A and B are shown apart, each in its own frame.
Chain A
Amino acid sequence: MDSTQTHGINLSINSSDYHLQILPWVTLLDVLRERIGLTGTKKGCDHGQCGACTVLVDGKRILSCLTLAVMKDGAAITTIEGIANGEKLHPIQQAFIDHDAFQCGYCTPGQICSAVGMLQEAKARNREEIKELMSGNLCRCGASRGIVNAVMQVMEGGSNE
């Protein structure tokens, strides 16, 4: 792949199709934020250390800052803007509001995408495992208790669609 030439890629983002002509050095995160204007996905470190940029690619949670957009040609991507069902919030989103699982809100999209992905993985069976499997998502405001409570509630309610 020529690194100085742009490449055409197709991305399905929140069920809308995008065709982009981009250089290989552009990350998926910067494509979302700067090229497409979906700024809900956050940049907290750009090094895969904080989890703020978590999105779902083909249902799996990934760090969009460590992903070059050209690597995901043809992929189906869900960002925080695509988590709700129209006006109806995803149960995780509602649980975050109810449990005050955020303060500044900057890590929130990553936490929510990560929680949705984690519930789909179906590996967590209890509170301790949720904490462990969500530990890649940092929160500097210290909303951990609310975040874990929110995910617990949805997991126990079984509404992890």
Chain B
Amino acid sequence: MTKLPSIGKPISRLEGRLKVTGIAKYAGEYQAPGLLYGYVVNSTITKGTIKIIDTADAKALEGVIEIFTHENRPSTAWFDFQYADMDAPPGTVFKPLKDNEIKYNGQPIALVVADTFEMARYAATQIKLAYVEEKFETDLESNIDKARKPKKGMASMLKPPPPKPAGDFEKAYESSFVQSSGEFKHGTEHHNPMEMFATTVIYEGKNRLKIYDKTQGTVNSQMYVANVFGLKMKNVQVIAPFVGGAFGSGLRPQYQLFMAVMASLALKRNVRVTLDRAQMFTFGHRPTTLQYAKFGADEKGKLNAVYHKAIGETSQFEDYTEIVVNWAGMLYPAENTLLEHRLVPLDVYSPLDMRAPGGSTGMHAVEVTMDDLAYKLNIDPVEFRLINYAEKDKSSGKEYSSKELRKCYLQAAAKFGWEKRSPEPRSMKRGNKLVGYGMATGIWDANRILARAQAIMTSDGKVEIKSAVTDIGTGTITIMTQIASDELGLPLEDITFSFADSSMPFAPIQGGSFTTATVGSAVQVACRALNKELFKKAKRDKDSGLADAAFEDAVFSDGFIFLKNSAEVKYSVQEIFAANGGKEIKTTNSSMPNPLTYGKKIKLVHSAVFVEVEVDEELGIIEVTRAVTAVAAGKIINPKTAESQILGGMIWGISKALHEETILDNQFGKYMNTNLAEYHIPVHADIHDLDVVFVEEEDDFVNDLGVKGVGEIGVVGMPPAITNAIFHATGKRINNLPIHFDKLL
């Protein structure tokens, strides 16, 4: 039995046994009678129209049940808004099979349904297509003249546009003692979770579906299906028990969901549609982004001028935005700032939030520019950050709800051994390799939004907690159980966390590092309400000794109610069940921040990252040999799963800096490396000594739990820290990511 409190303990994942024995099931793994298999056909042109789509030969194959195209698809919702999901940017949502228009390369244009996967896949190759091609634009750099301000919409609530300019940047920059300016670029990236997108639809009779979907939001998918196909919400149940990674790719319903539901309703059959790896590159990506940074500082190292501009790509139909340029303003107290974000619409699919969207992009430019200034001023890069340490958010004028970034710098520097750094570039060596030390700051939002949760106690004294939230590998199942355990005073073993089912109490999409704060708060409130209900019922028993007691004085532990100031009272909740005939006791509650006070402070997670690289100049090999990240993210519910989140983020940072990129051939408007052999992510051999420190940070403002969230922060500071370490090792400033060996030559 776990000793309470369980919050703060490194509890192993409660679903661990299911995952190591292969019993944990993912969306594409549910069997059903007469299950049909769908295989999607994708456009091979980038822009134009389908002139002919001849499915006759394919349809004649034995085992092919139906082929859906724009010509024969069942009708779906008319209005744009009916296709909108919780993460839809301003614009017009893409509608699969809507008409013969091709908007991007890889667009889904047909679904083959057959009685085996193999036949569906084969038949897909037998469809004859003729297109009318049109001229397209997919290259960001050659279309930079089309850059414009992003449109605003619902998504702008969690993604505010840059703040208004402050002071006079141009003048301040011109007169700065030192200046640094740079252009930055990173290529397109795709999420590529290990599990490919899949949906299994169980047809449960007229217009009633049970759907196993790969998603980060069961309610989001439920809402989409109900709206698009004109079904009642209660007749659409979306379940995502285990999700094989997502990293943002599941924040929007993807086209395999549309396809599987369409086929199931039309054929009145159970249908599964699974995408293949190449198709994982046909929806949503981190957008190619160009950035310009110009920072100026005085002779003491005080930043006085900050300019940061980002130009990102988007599709022709939606204005995808992310927070790229706001961070410097929230982190450094410069008097004169000019922050701008622009978009260039291109003939690509809409970009999509990808782990630390915007932050990992923008902070690369910010922290490399800071590093450059530190070298020019001959000030230690850590010292330079401390000189410019903000005690208050200059860009909004608000206080931080908490900020232990200073401790992050100091603790990470000590653990890393930063004092051994010799400041001069190319001055450190190990054998024939150059060694470089680099550091950077990380920053991310600590948001919280609305969620609901339910707590049910049964007569055996055990409690079930219910929430529609998913666990995409974040540790949510374990963390929510820990929160409930402490609130109820019950051991973990007595609590079951039921999750990832849209018929359970509402949870928003799982992203933005806000799940623990959002759903955790709802679980806490529901458990507290359950305690109140128990207390109320106990008070009715005249012999309970609680008749005159106040709830605030009650202590709940192991199925008993005690009073803080009375040693005599020990009331078993079993008495309540004895009195009510064993009926379960249930509470359902909503939780959201107080809208009147929540905006009064700025809520952020911070990190400091220190990296050692080894560079073999002759072979052009770069290795991240050591990295230490110190994180200030409020209360850490589970140091074990939280550490894994940070480690995973750090590896994403290594990948972004040195490995991954989706290469677009602008001649064809097509991604060229749509497989895991050519889309490089780090393998075990690329990963060396990684260390995580959680810095103590108390925050009674963010939420009652004092938690912030750790999903993204691990990524943010890594790319600039690596880039800065490469400069220290080689004396070369390489601003384009990823840094492959050719860039060192």
Min distance, Cβ A51 to any Cβ of chain B, angstroms: 9
> Is A73 part of the contact surface with B, judged by Cβ < 8 Å?
no
Is the Cβ of B21 less than 8 Å from the Cβ of A80? yes
Inter-chain contact total with CB atoms closer than 8 Å: 174
Closest B-chain residue to A136, C-beta based?
B683
Additional A-B contact list (13), CB under 8 Å, known A103-B645, A103-B648, A140-B245: A25-B118, A41-B22, A46-B276, A81-B21, A89-B21, A102-B13, A104-B195, A104-B472, A135-B683, A142-B652, A143-B647, A143-B648, A144-B684
Residues of A within 8 A of B19 (CB): 102, 105, 108
Can you name 6 A-B pairs with beta carbons within 8 Å? A25-B122, A43-B196, A44-B676, A50-B676, A81-B23, A106-B195
- With A50-B676, A97-B13 as contacts: A144 and B194 at CB distance below 8 Å: no
Residues of A within 8 A of B690 (CB): 145
> Is B222 part of the contact surface with A, judged by Cβ < 8 Å?
no
Is the Cβ of B648 less than 8 Å from the Cβ of A49? no
Q: B3-45, CB under 8 A of A: which get 1 and which 0? A: 0000000001101111111111110110100000000000000
Chain A binding surface SS class: loop
Partner of A103, one of B25, B31, B475, B677: B475
Q: 5 shortest A-B CB distances, which residue pairs? A: A40-B22, A106-B244, A104-B473, A142-B651, A142-B648
Q: B643-687, CB under 8 A of A: which get 1 and which 0? A: 111011111100000000000000000000001110001111101
Q: B194-219, CB under 8 A of A: which get 1 and which 0? A: 11100000000000000000000000
Q: Chain B interface: which size bin?
A: 35 or more
8 A Cβ contacts from B154-201 to A: 192-196
Q: How far is the CA of A23 from the CA of B245 in the complex (A)?
A: 32
Is the Cβ of B651 less than 8 Å from the Cβ of A89? no
Residues of B within 8 A of A155 (CB): none
Is the Cβ of B687 less than 8 Å from the Cβ of A131? yes
8 A Cβ contacts from B230-285 to A: 242-247, 274, 276-277
Min distance, Cβ B304 to any Cβ of chain A, angstroms: 38
Is the Cβ of B677 less than 8 Å from the Cβ of A138? no
Is the Cβ of A103 less than 8 Å from the Cβ of B245? yes
Partner of A40, one of B23, B475, B685: B23
Closest A-chain residue to B245, C-beta based?
A104
Closest A-chain residue to B243, C-beta based?
A104
Residues of B within 8 A of A38 (CB): 22
Is the Cβ of B651 less than 8 Å from the Cβ of A105? no
Seen from chain A, the residues whose Cβ lies within 8 Å of a Cβ on chain B are 23, 25-26, 30, 33-34, 37-47, 49-50, 52, 79-81, 83-84, 89, 93-94, 96-98, 100, 102-109, 112, 128, 130-132, 134-148
Interface centre among B12, B247, B648, B652 (most CB of A within 10 A): B648
Q: How far is the CA of A108 from the CA of B17 in the complex (A)?
A: 11
Q: How far is the CA of A103 from the CA of B20 in the complex (A)?
A: 11
Is the Cβ of B244 less than 8 Å from the Cβ of A37? no
Residues of A within 8 A of B502 (CB): none
Residues of B within 8 A of A23 (CB): 118
Min distance, Cβ B367 to any Cβ of chain A, angstroms: 21
Residues of A within 8 A of B687 (CB): 131, 142, 144-145, 148
Interface centre among B21, B25, B475 (most CB of A within 10 A): B21
Partner of B277, one of A45, A103, A105, A139: A45
Q: How far is the CA of A160 from the CA of B696 in the complex (A)?
A: 40
Closest B-chain residue to A27, C-beta based?
B118
Residues of A within 8 A of B682 (CB): 142, 144
Min distance, Cβ B10 to any Cβ of chain A, angstroms: 8
Q: How far is the CA of A143 from the CA of B683 in the complex (A)?
A: 10
Residues of A within 8 A of B473 (CB): 102-105, 141
- With A100-B13, A105-B15 as contacts: A142 and B650 at CB distance below 8 Å: yes
Residues of B within 8 A of A39 (CB): 22, 25-26, 29
Residues of A within 8 A of B684 (CB): 130-132, 134-135, 137, 139, 144, 147-148
Is the Cβ of B644 less than 8 Å from the Cβ of A146? yes
> Is B400 part of the contact surface with A, judged by Cβ < 8 Å?
no
Is the Cβ of A46 less than 8 Å from the Cβ of B277? yes
Residues of B within 8 A of A132 (CB): 684-685
